[in-house]
């Protein structure tokens, strides 16, 4: 069972359409959208675990929970482990808002009544209702994968710049382990002068990942990097490790340092 403390709830494309919303940029997680219903839905996993959330009993083909806030209404469900695997999703991405609407005074326009009628139509011929169409579709899974990829790129860039900042301060070599990957950076600099920068990457089999690492250094073009197959002082190549070097002028050094505070934490 997925712990409620780890769970987050994502709106499906269908839910976003219901709310009149579009996909935001990929650096914004759908579970963190600044919308009252999406924010309220983040409490549903914990409430469901405690037995304190109302079920949508008209949808009998699977468990759906009601999510209510101000004038908005939603239907939230959790995928089973097999459903998540079939969609290429991790267990922590099991909770979804499948549909949404607004509370109406007219009972025939009530969101949950409408959803029941919709599920009845979808289940026609099966002697029951069907809410399968409300589950995350291919576009929802692709969006999640894209968000993960963007976060991975951001994390790699942050690691690279952090290592460079540390080395800019004392000229030593610094390295970071990222699961099966390893990144090392070493800067040789003098006050007010150009600096020699070497970056070692290990366990990155694809050229596009190497490009992400090198592109993390602002103001340096890809053509400015030179391979160092024999290694450099401070970084001795290991099996499968690739080392690249470049020259960074004082203004770029200052730009990199400006991105971090005195404790080495990113200012963003």
267 belongs to a structural domain:
no
1 belongs to a structural domain:
no
Summarize pLDDT for 220-258 with one digit per residue, the tens: 998 999 988 877 766 777 777 789 999 999 999 999 999
Give the pLDDT confidence score for residue 234 in this predicted structure.
67
For residue 182, the enclosing domain spans 152-258
16 belongs to a structural domain:
yes
166 and 58 in a single domain? The answer is: no
118 and 163 in a single domain? The answer is: no
pTM: 0.80
146 belongs to a structural domain:
no
**Which of 136, 163, 194 is at the close of a domain?**
136
128 belongs to a structural domain:
yes
Summarize pLDDT for 65-118 with one digit per residue, the tens: 999 998 999 999 999 999 999 999 999 999 999 999 998 766 556 899 999 999
Q: In the chain, which residue ranges form alpha helices assigned H by DSSP? A: 13-19, 36-41, 44-49, 81-86, 111-122, 138-170, 207-215, 250-258
Count how many domains the chain has. Answer: 2
Residue among 247, 145, 152 at smallest CA distance from 209: 152
Residue among 31, 23, 38 at smallest CA distance from 6: 31
Phi, psi of 197, deg, nearest 5: -120, 130
């Amino acid at each position: 069972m997925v712990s409620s403390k780890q769970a987050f709830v994502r709106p499906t494309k269908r839910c976003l359409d219901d709310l009149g919303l579009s996909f935001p940029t990929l650096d914004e997680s759908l579970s963190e959208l600044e919308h009252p219903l999406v924010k309220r839905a983040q409490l549903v996993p914990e409430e469901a675990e405690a037995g304190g959330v109302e079920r949508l009993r008209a949808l009998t083909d699977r468990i759906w929970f009601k999510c209510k806030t101000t004038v908005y209404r939603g239907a939230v469900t959790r995928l089973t482990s097999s459903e998540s695997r079939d969609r290429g999703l991790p267990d922590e991405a099991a909770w979804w808002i499948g549909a949404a609407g607004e509370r109406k005074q007219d009972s025939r326009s009530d969101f949950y009544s409408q959803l029941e009628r919709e599920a009845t139509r979808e289940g026609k011929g099966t002697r029951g209702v069907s809410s399968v169409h409300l589950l995350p579709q291919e576009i929802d899974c692709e969006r999640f994968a894209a968000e993960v990829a963007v976060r991975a790129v951001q994390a790699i860039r942050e690691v690279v710049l952090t290592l460079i900042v540390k080395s800019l301060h004392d000229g030593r070599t610094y390295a970071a382990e990222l699961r099966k990957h390893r990144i090392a950076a070493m800067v040789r600099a003098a006050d007010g002068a150009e600096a020699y920068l070497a970056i070692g990457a290990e366990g990155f089999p694809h050229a596009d990942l190497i490009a992400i690492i090198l592109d993390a250094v602002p103001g340096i073009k890809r053509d400015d990097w030179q391979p160092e197959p024999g290694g450099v002082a401070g970084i001795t190549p290991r099996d499968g490790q690739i080392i690249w070097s470049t020259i960074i002028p004082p203004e770029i050094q200052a730009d990199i340092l400006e991105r971090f505070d005195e404790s080495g934490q990113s200012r963003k």
